[in-house]
A and B are shown apart, each in its own frame.
Chain A
Amino acid sequence: MADLTDGRGAVKRRIGTRLWLAGGWLTLLLLAAVFAPLVAPQDPLAQDLFLTRLPPFWEEGAEAGYWLGTDSLGRDVLSRIIYGARLALVVALVAGSITCLIGSALGLMAGFLRGWVDLVISRLIDIWMAFPPVLFSILLIAVIGPGLHSIILAIVIIDWTRFARVVRAEAMAQGAMDYVASAQVAGRGRIGTMLREILPNVLPTIVVLLTLEMGIAVIVEAILSFVNLSISTDDPTWGGMIAEGRASVYQAWWVLVFPLITLFLTVLAFSQLGEGLKDRFDPVLR
């Protein structure tokens, strides 16, 4: 029987093609990272000084098995990109979630408990944001030395304020709403209220920010590799490949271009995923 209301409720947002594409690329990346040893045609670290700068398969002079060509040390570009996905996802997931955890926790406490807690945390946010982010990370890496743990630490230390600021504002807004007052009247303690009442409502924003943060984490790793501060070991990273490829861009453009495209698509996927989730969760958008 036809829907007899005036049809306003019937407006559903179709899952955008962008969301499918973003999700698809990220799953592909996850699979590549997890099954890297099976998927990668060559050992990413194996060097062959006689197979340097082979072009991708469609150009003449290419070698079978080296689909996207080799770099100046004769290492297979495709395998390094696949293994690079591991580091990118580790950085994105680990750094992203730790930043989210710390930032949101502090934001939630500041936003809901207010009083001196809010004062202290807000001052902390102000101080932290007064540091120029890139310069601070370079300084930090100079202190703790390059390496995977330093990148993650650098991202967490720089970006937690992003979560804290937004979550605090959201928690403050939610706190003012009536349903919170009624919960407290029903005898639930302040912390209980915060966790069971405020958190579920603030969660959508946190999830959206988390996906965006993952994209940013991958970018920061690329910036640090560009300034030669990324991880020190041989493990391939996209940022490192881009920095190395830059020197011989005219002779072997593929060493720079393919990791650049992969990095670009990954960060784009994270941002579109974030946008898509934001629309899904946001009831206001008719």
Chain B
Amino acid sequence: MKLNRRSLLKLSAAGAALSLTGLPAFAAIDELVIAYNVNLPSWDPTVGPSAVNPTIQGIYQSVFDQYILQQPDLSPAPGLLTEWGWNDDRTQVWMTVREGVKWHDGSDFTAEDVAWSLARVANPDTGSPIQFVWGTLKNHRVEGNKVIADVAQFDPTIFKWMYFLTGYVLPKAYYEKVGAEGFEAAPVGTGPYMVEKFERNAYVRLKANEAYWGGAPEFKTVTIKFVTDSAARVAEVESGNAHVTLEMPYEEYDRLKNGPLAGVATPVSDIGMIFLNDIDVMLDPNVRKAAALAIDKQTIIDRLLSGYGVAIDTLQTPEYEAYDASIKVGYDPEKAKELLAASGYSPENPVKFKIQTTKGFKPKDYEMVQAIVGLWRKVGIEAEIEVYEIAKHYELRAADQLAPAAFYNWGNSVGDPTTSTGFAMFGPSPHSVWDGADLIEKIAPLWGEADEAKRIAGWKEVDRYIAENALVIPLLQYVQPILHAPGVKVVPHASGALLPHLMTRG
């Protein structure tokens, strides 16, 4: 039997008719089932490794509310805080707390919860990974429905962190009553859904919070099944066992998006890039520039990712504030050869260095590096690929022992230049790879720049300098594919978070 598309469609259609165990057909959906791609390790969104894991923020945002709400286009809006800001001389921050909100256990949400939550993540011994940001605020205090805190060290992005990693408000009374372990067993938040049943590594069943301040969600019961294997996830949705799924190979997305299922694919705040380490051959600007010019980003996106991806030349994406469309690098293999020739290299006598990448961590990560190595080979760059696990990457980067080139992806759902170009390229930060002194001087003043317009212009200037000297090679902005049954309408979120409370019966 020739296993091509036509015969497969005929078979699966026949199969659907044959299904015996009363699998839910594609008709009206009362209980929404989502096939999710990663397991949820822990219910505390503010402490521990899961607090900084971008792939599970969608689940946290269904159960907990952030200080400030981030809308699908990444822009901030009033959340549990209705207004917020600095005082005139920026020595204090003030926040007005929304009233009439209830915790899932029925108790009242008060300014006390906000102050307590902020103090908790600022305290180093709770193991909070973002303590270095929250620690810039001191002695948080409540005045009626306002919360005031002193600014120990000015951070222009403090309010942006309030809708980013660990920016969640937890119930003070409940948490202190049941303790960390009790909270893990029965988490309580103010979010659109309450946790009804959680089976680790298997599924979580959510019940709608009818009294949600943002309006009760349409689907009253939502089950999030953890299905780590992408082929199994697609099979779940295709067989009707689940209604929505994400992160599947683009070929599968294309196959099903107009077929029995529907689909939506939008660019998200996650980019693929190649870190360059200022060691051996990478110290030669010709080699760096040639490496950047020799990559045909658009062809890689079209051929490898079925066209799902946005080519970028700086670490900012079009949605970010500091995005500057005028900075261009482009694809020019001839110029790359000239630059390499200037340093004495050629396809016959290629420059040699190692490039590290993960395999299977991000869609087609390994294949992209193989394609880039193929393109480099044509202009005279011989790159040897070394695969490592994401855990090994973090360690090497923290110890600044990455290979001359290392493929990595960088999430930044806040869209601020500090949490993209800043942390990635600022020498002293343990997470940057390029340690050039010239760049450090350019970036240093921007950390504390109070004037927003001047700050953004400063970061654009840094991005231009980086692009001209090829200190890093940005590749593409990822597009997140979501497949869903025709019976549900999915509103995608630019941060990549899959939010059930935004889904309606389409």
Chain A residues, CB < 8 A from B303: 49-50, 52, 72, 74
- If the complex has contacts A49-B299, A233-B385, A234-B385, are A250 and B370 also in contact, measured as CB distance less than 8 A? no
Chain A residues, CB < 8 A from B359: 228, 232
Q: For residue B383, give the distance in angstroms from its CB to the closest CB of chain A.
A: 10
Of A47, A50, A146, A250, the residue contacting B371 (CB under 8 A) is: A47
Additional 6 contacts, C-beta under 8 A, given A72-B251, A232-B386:
A145-B388, A228-B360, A247-B230, A247-B252, A248-B252, A257-B3
Contact code string B244-260 (vs A, CB < 8 Å = 1, else 0): 00000101100100000
Chain A residues, CB < 8 A from B81: none
Contact B371 A73 (CB under 8 A): yes
Contact B304 A49 (CB under 8 A): yes
List the A residue with the shortest CB-CB distance to B368. Answer: A73
* CB contact list, B264-319 vs A, under 8 A: 299-300, 303-304
Chain B residues, CB < 8 A from A47: 370-371, 374
A246 interface hit (Cβ, 8 Å): yes
Chain B residues, CB < 8 A from A52: 303
A-B contact count (CB 8 A): 69
Q: How far is the CA of A73 from the CA of B386 in the complex (A)?
A: 18
Q: How far is the CA of A228 from the CA of B390 in the complex (A)?
A: 12
Q: For residue B335, give the distance in angstroms from its CB to the closest CB of chain A.
A: 20
Q: How far is the CA of A232 from the CA of B383 in the complex (A)?
A: 13
Q: How far is the CA of A73 from the CA of B387 in the complex (A)?
A: 18
Contact A72 B304 (CB under 8 A): yes
| Interface residues, chain B, with chain A CB atoms under 8 Å away | 2-5, 8, 230-231, 249, 251-252, 255, 299-300, 303-304, 359-360, 366-367, 370-371, 373-374, 384-389, 391-392
SS of B interface (majority): helix
A142 interface hit (Cβ, 8 Å): yes
Chain B residues, CB < 8 A from A59: 2, 4
Q: How far is the CA of A100 from the CA of B436 in the complex (A)?
A: 53
Q: How far is the CA of A247 from the CA of B392 in the complex (A)?
A: 25
Q: For residue B303, give the distance in angstroms from its CB to the closest CB of chain A.
A: 4
Contact B385 A232 (CB under 8 A): yes
- If the complex has contacts A146-B387, A232-B385, A234-B370, are A247 and B249 also in contact, measured as CB distance less than 8 A? yes
Contact B373 A73 (CB under 8 A): no
Contact B387 A228 (CB under 8 A): yes
Of B8, B367, B388, the residue contacting A250 (CB under 8 A) is: B8
* CB contact list, A43-90 vs B, under 8 A: 45-47, 49-50, 52, 59, 72-74
Chain A residues, CB < 8 A from B5: 250-251
Chain A residues, CB < 8 A from B304: 49, 72-73
Q: For residue A246, give the distance in angstroms from its CB to the closest CB of chain B.
A: 6
9 tightest CB-CB pairs across the interface, nearest first? A232-B387, A247-B249, A47-B374, A248-B251, A49-B303, A228-B360, A228-B359, A253-B3, A251-B251
Contact B249 A73 (CB under 8 A): no
Could you list some 11 contacts between A and B, CB below 8 A? A47-B370, A47-B374, A49-B304, A142-B391, A228-B360, A228-B366, A233-B384, A234-B385, A250-B5, A251-B5, A253-B3
Contact A73 B389 (CB under 8 A): no
Q: How far is the CA of A243 from the CA of B249 in the complex (A)?
A: 13
Q: How far is the CA of A71 from the CA of B367 in the complex (A)?
A: 11
Q: How far is the CA of A50 from the CA of B374 in the complex (A)?
A: 13
Q: For residue B152, give the distance in angstroms from its CB to the closest CB of chain A.
A: 40
Chain B residues, CB < 8 A from A233: 384-386
Chain A residues, CB < 8 A from B231: 246-247, 249
* CB contact list, A124-151 vs B, under 8 A: 142, 145-146
List the B residue with the shortest CB-CB distance to A58. Answer: B2
Chain A residues, CB < 8 A from B387: 146, 228, 232
Of A50, A73, A146, A253, the residue contacting B367 (CB under 8 A) is: A73
Contact B385 A145 (CB under 8 A): no
A118 interface hit (Cβ, 8 Å): no
Contact A72 B386 (CB under 8 A): no
Chain A residues, CB < 8 A from B392: 142, 145
Chain A residues, CB < 8 A from B384: 233
Q: How far is the CA of A45 from the CA of B384 in the complex (A)?
A: 12
Chain B residues, CB < 8 A from A72: 251, 303-304, 367
Q: How far is the CA of A145 from the CA of B251 in the complex (A)?
A: 30
A244 interface hit (Cβ, 8 Å): yes
List the A residue with the shortest CB-CB distance to B251. Answer: A248
List the A residue with the shortest CB-CB distance to B360. Answer: A228
Contact code string A247-266 (vs B, CB < 8 Å = 1, else 0): 11111010001000000000
Chain B residues, CB < 8 A from A146: 387-388
Q: How far is the CA of A49 from the CA of B302 in the complex (A)?
A: 9
Q: For residue A135, give the distance in angstroms from its CB to the closest CB of chain B.
A: 15
Chain A residues, CB < 8 A from B388: 145-146, 232
